[in-house]
Amino acid sequence: MMALYLTQMSRNTKTFNEVTDFIRGLYQTKDFIPLHAPLFRGNEKKYLNECIDSTFVSSVGKFVGEAEKRFAEIVGADYAVAVVNGTSALHLALRVAGVKAGDEVITQPLTFVATCNAIRYLNANPVFVDVSLRTLGLSAESLKDFLESSTIVKDGRLYNKTSGKRIAACMPMHTFGHPLELDEIKELCDHYNLTLVEDAAEAVGSHYKGKHVGQHGKVSAFSFNGNKVVTSGGGGMIVTNDEELAKYAKHLSTVAKVAHPYEFYHDELAYNYRMPNINAALLLGQLEELESFLVNKRELSQKYQAYFNKLEEIEFFQEPENCISNFWLNVVLLENREIRDEFLKITNDQGVMTRPAWNLMHNLPEFRNSIVHSDTHSKWLFDRLVNIPSSVIQ
């Protein structure tokens, strides 16, 4: 038994070393290979210089409006509001969607902590419903089961039978850029009078049935952090087709100041979340590169797919049916937790950055007491999933 186990381990070691070499071959470098590095090869410097020369680097300047317009066009939505990061975009998206203190928001256990932090910033609470093994995002089937078994409609509002709390919204996340089962999720949300807020932080450039994600619900949030497909240093965008919501999000992001030539009047408690002009300048340059980044990243994912298809020990995660993923972070699945850990150790020891999935949200102190409807797939994925280097290849 021991001998067999060792043979298995050494066979994996050999394969994982070969994988490391393969990735080095793709990136043509002996240096450290990060998971996702930004690339500036377009008008970024030009716009940044314009910004500095004009002195408008902060809360006033033309680049914010230009980046918002450009982003709305890319997504195919009517309005985009630029904010300081993806987390603040989620916070305001939930706020304008009507989430109030004491409410519950349905989301997935397998996500980045920002999704759930945004819910808690409003003194609301997450309810965890499992992800799909086909999309890595919220499962429509699990959502249906939760809604049928655990909720009740009173006076047109949805309540959780277990906690008695109102369920105000459903905020699924497009994991690693792979689109959610949006038709099914939207149909359920509509049926139960549940506001759909997409956490599209990772999904710039991803399409579901020919439509860019982030416009299927009432409002959505994107991130332009340095590790995302395009970056503004730090930044985020709230996207909606609802003019009132867009105006309100903008108002809340600019300390709720009522427009006036010189007077300061703020009509409610709000935030300083507006994206500075200098970040917007960088973002505009990056958005011009988005198409070419997406083509490059798709080619990379196809190379990975062809390579991993030949390996028995490692499965490459493919984009869901009828979807175009941005392949933000490529995903491989290992046989079990031990083998995953061996893969992580070998690759990272050799300077090829790989990462496991995030710890499931209800394993974090802040969300330990949250309601968990289902997490079987999330646990299964956590044990096996690894992200591998996915930067645009120069």
Closest approach, Cβ 156 to ligand PLP, in A, equals: 30
Shortest CB 164 distance to ligand PLP, Å? 29
Q: How far is the CB of 16 from ligand PLP (least distance, A)?
A: 26
Neighbour-count burial of 260, counting CB atoms closer than 10 A to its CB (0-12 exposed, 13-18 middle, 19+ buried):
exposed
Q: How far apart are CB 204 and ligand PLP at their closest, in Å? A: 11
* Beta carbon of residue 331, minimum distance to ligand PLP (angstroms, whole number): 14
Alpha carbon distance 171, 291 (integer Å) = 27
The residue (of 93 and 158) whose beta carbon lies closer to ligand PLP is 93
3-state secondary structure of 125: strand
Q: What 3 state SS string does 80-111 have? A: EEEECCHHHHHHHHHHHCCCCCCCEEEECCCC
Q: Which is nearer to ligand PLP, 20 or 125 (CB)?
A: 125
Is 375 in contact with 361 (CB distance < 8 Å)? no
CB atoms inside a 10 Å sphere around CB 369? 9
Q: How far is the CB of 392 from ligand PLP (least distance, A)?
A: 17
Beta strand pairing call for 385-388 and 330-333: antiparallel
Count of Cβ atoms closer than 10 Å to residue 25 Cβ: 11
User: Minimal distance in Å, beta carbon 124 to ligand PLP?
Assistant: 16
Helix or strand holding residue 212 (H, E): strand 211-212
Residue nearest to ligand PLP (CB): 86
Residue closer to ligand PLP (CB basis): 214 or 236: 236
Closer to ligand PLP by CB, 19 or 331: give it. Answer: 331
Q: How far is the CB of 20 from ligand PLP (least distance, A)?
A: 26
Q: Which is nearer to ligand PLP, 201 or 392 (CB)?
A: 201
Nearer to ligand PLP, 84 or 324 (CB): 84
Could you tell me which of 200, 227, 221 has the C-alpha nearest to residue 325? Answer: 200
**Residue 130 near residue 373 (C-beta atoms within 8 A):** yes
Closest contact distance (angstroms) between CB of 367 and ligand PLP is 14
- Helix residue ranges per DSSP H, the chain: 2-27, 44-54, 62-75, 86-96, 113-121, 140-150, 182-191, 243-253, 277-309, 337-349, 376-384
Closer residue to ligand PLP in complex, CB, 20/206:
206
Task: Look at residues 336, 378, 346, 340 and name the one whose alpha carbon lies nearest to residue 360.
Answer: 378
The number of helices, as runs of H, and strands, as runs of E, in the chain is 11, 17
Query: Which residue's CB is nearer to ligand PLP, number 160 or number 206?
Result: 206
Q: Which is nearer to ligand PLP, 132 or 160 (CB)?
A: 132
Q: Which of 197, 203, 222 is nearest to 82 (CA)?
A: 222
The backbone region for 360, taken as left when phi is positive above 0, alpha when psi lies in -120 to 50, beta otherwise, is beta
User: Least distance in Å: CB of 114 to ligand PLP?
Assistant: 4
User: Which residues here bind ligand PLP, judged by CB under 6 A?
Assistant: 85-87, 90, 111-112, 114-115, 173, 199, 201-202, 223, 225, 236
**Residue 47 amino acid letter:** Y
The Cα 9–Cα 3 span in angstroms is 10
CB of 189 to ligand PLP, least distance (A): 19
Nearer to ligand PLP, 39 or 89 (CB): 89
Select from 86, 41, 27, 21 the least CA-distant residue to 237: 86
For ligand PLP, which is the closer residue by CB, 111 or 301? 111
